Amino acid sequence: SNEKNVLFTIFGGTGDLAQRKLYPSLFRLYRKGNLGEHFAVIGTARRPWSDEHYREVVKETIRALNPSDEEATTFASHFYYQSHDVNDSTHYQTLKELSDRLDGHYQLNGNRVYYLAMAPQFFGTIVSHLKSQNIMTKNGFNRLIIEKPFGSDYQSAFELNQQIREVFPEQDIFRIDHYLGKEMIQNISAIRFANNIFEAQWNNRYIDNIQITFGENLGVEDRGGYYDHSGALKDMVQNHILQVVALLAMEPPVAFSEKEIRTEKIKALKAIRIYNEEEVLENFVRGQYAQGELDGVQFKGYREEDKVDAQSETETFVAGKFTIDNFRWSGVPFYVRTGKRLTEKGTRINIVFKQVPVNVFKTSVDEPCDDTTLPPNVLTIYIQPTEGFSLSLNGKEVGQGFETEPIKLEFRNSAEMVENSPEAYEKLLLDALNGDGTNFSHWEEVAQSWHIVDVIRKAWDQTQPDFPNYKAGSMGPKAAFELLEKDGFEWIWQP
Ligand code: BG6
């Protein structure tokens, strides 16, 4: 059967992520039979909760999935709460005793997943204690799932990684990048490697530029405390965006396996140019939202948000151009942008193809002609909120004479399909249970991403930004548009 025997220990068990994503995902796996009688969850955090209270909380988090009373109660009965101070060795003893007891009771065969879903400054301590306090088993698997941020620059990431590697081998470390669990991000590989019409053209001879937009309409919400120390560059570019660039840019893997895909992704990341300070200022722009209005709703500026410094220089928007120095991509800009409080939530990729060599419809043998360009062919991958593809082409306008006209082939997954497809976290949890690291970030990917981003951060830190510089509800600062204009391009998606 597909059923897994496993004990999850969730550090940060009372937290937002656990409640919003992890418990519902575990429940979905339970419903599908990937988890059955032989699983247990220990939730830990500082506050003192009883098992009863914890189980009530868990039940509440799965309410939207409409379980029957019995189903919810049986599921929740597998959850145990342990109040835990991550710096106190004696607490790990209690944790060990509970773990061993549950292992026997549910016949878990020593299989353990430790999930770090709490403030990153505790990651190192927790992992060291798992070993020193003998919590890890000898008979089953011991895997670590670790949430972002993985470090705050290369150096801190390196140190954290050293600490973790003293306890877990690389293949047992699952660094979450939840974008890699998204259906349409996974679909990038299908588009590329299952369709000759695209892969044949997937290079600098046929592609003009690639545009990646990760727009959010939300502001920082209640995460000001974290976000004001992070900013959009570290929150979105270092991880999600660079992972997507790697998937778009990599060479076809020899086989569609973890090892082969990883090899190609790392090579792609290594080919991204590390800018010097001058190049950073030329190729990357930052923004911070001011108050603004959208659809009659007023939004406050970033500096007025809760737990944000009133003089904050943290960016809530980044746009930039990555340059990839290899045979396939030399000369093709990869433009990226992401921001909070933009016009709408929209994550999409536009692959912009080059013009036909000559526009025979506009050239004339005996008259000068200035309008010679056709709209480009664009392949769009819609990641969210809708999921699908479109391809824009040029056709003939119906009727007498000959005028070309842009047309679009469109495909979207149905709302029902999107609704019923597994959540990113559900897929990633099951991957980790299967020991499959394909959709997680390998250390070398993380390291290279930090090298790329560190120089941008450093260059920015030398100069004072002119913040705020875009209105809430807009698509970012003017500089983000100029970035493409100076190369003779424009953002394809302009909501
Ligand atoms: C997270 C960032 O990694 O991704 C958040 O920390 C951001 O700031 C979120 O809002 C976006 O994820 P999604 O799945 O809602 O697009």
- 1 has pLDDT over 80: no
pLDDT over threshold 70, residue 279? yes
> How many whole angstroms from 495 Cα to the centroid of ligand 1?
20
Residue 366 pLDDT class (50, 70, 90 cuts): confident
Q: Coil, strand or helix: which one is 409?
A: strand
Rounded Cα distance, 211 and 332, in Å: 11
Q: Residue ranges for the binding site? A: 46, 85-86, 148, 178, 182, 216, 235, 340, 345
Site to substitute for ligand 1 among 235, 243, 344, 348, most atoms within 8 A of C-beta? 235
Task: Assess whether pLDDT exceeds 70 at residue 369.
Answer: no
Could you give the CA distance from residue 15 to residue 45 in angstroms, rounded to a whole number? 8
pLDDT of residue 370: 60
Q: How far is the CA of 218 from the centre of ligand 1 (A)?
A: 10
The count of other CB atoms within 10 Å of the CB of residue 416 is: 8
Q: Please give the number of the atom of ligand 1 that sits closest to the Cα of 226.
A: 6
- What H or E segment, with its residue span, contains residue 20? none
CB 203 within 8 Å of CB 329: yes
State how far the Cα of 267 lies from the Cα of 454, in Å rounded to an integer: 19
Would you tell me how many other CB atoms lie within 10 Å of the CB of residue 122? 14
- Average pLDDT, integer, range 438-451: 98
Res. 363: pLDDT tops 70? no
Across all residues in the chain, what is the average pLDDT? 96
Tell me what pLDDT residue 371 has: 63
> Is the predicted ipTM greater than 0.95, yes or no?
yes
Per the annotation, the verdict on 442 as an active-site residue is no
Task: Indicate the top mutation candidate among 21, 178, 218, 449 to test ligand 1's pocket, ranked by most ligand atoms within 8 A of CB.
Answer: 178
pLDDT of amino acid 372: 67
- The residue whose C-alpha atom lies closest to atom 8 belonging to ligand 1 is 235
Give residue-wise pLDDT tens across range 319-342.
999 999 999 999 999 999 999 999
- pLDDT > 90? residue 286: yes
Binding residues for NADP(+): 46, 85-86, 148
Tell me the per-residue pLDDT of 173-211, one tens digit each, with 9 for 90 and over.
999 999 999 999 999 999 999 999 998 999 999 999 999
Atom number, ligand 1, closest to the C-alpha of residue 239:
3
Determine which residue's CA is closest to atom 4 belonging to ligand 1. 236
**Separation of alpha carbons 376 and 404, rounded Å:** 12
Mean pLDDT of 111-140: 96
In this prediction, residue 275 carries a pLDDT of: 98
Q: How far is the CA of 425 from the centre of ligand 1 (A)?
A: 13
**365 has pLDDT over 80:** no
What's residue 373's pLDDT?
82
Q: Name the one residue in this structure whose structure tokens are 């998937």.
A: 247
Residue 364 has pLDDT above 70, yes or no: no
pLDDT at position 128 is: 97
- Over 90: is that where the pLDDT of 438 sits? yes
Among 158, 127, 107, 181, CA closest to 11: 127
| pLDDT tens digit sequence for 391-420 | 999 999 999 988 899 999 999 999 999 988
Atom number in ligand 1 closest to CA 179: 14
Binding residues for substrate: 178, 182, 216, 235, 340, 345
From 78, 84, 240, 442, the catalytic residue: 240
pLDDT band at 358 (very low <50, low <70, confident <90, very high): confident
303-316 pLDDT tens trace: 999 999 999 999 99
pLDDT given at position 108: 98
Residue nearest to atom 10 of ligand 1 (CA): 216
Gap from CA of 196 to ligand 1 centroid (Å) = 33
Residue 362 — very low, low, confident or very high, per pLDDT cuts 50/70/90?
confident
For the segment 149-165, the average pLDDT, to the nearest whole number, is 97
**Ligand 1, atom 15: nearest CA belongs to which residue?**
216
Cα dihedral across residues 56, 117, 89, 104: positive or negative = positive
Nearest to 244 by CA among 289, 206, 216, 210: 210
- For ligand 1, residues with CB inside 6 Å are 216, 235, 347
Kindly report the protein residue whose alpha carbon is nearest to atom 5 of ligand 1.
Answer: 235
- Percent of the chain exceeding pLDDT 90 equals 94
From ligand 1's centre to the CA of 106, what distance in Å? 35
pLDDT of residue 360: 86
Q: Output the CA 108–ligand 1 centroid distance in Å.
A: 33
What is the average pLDDT across 112-117? 97
* Nearest-CA residue for atom 14 of ligand 1: 179
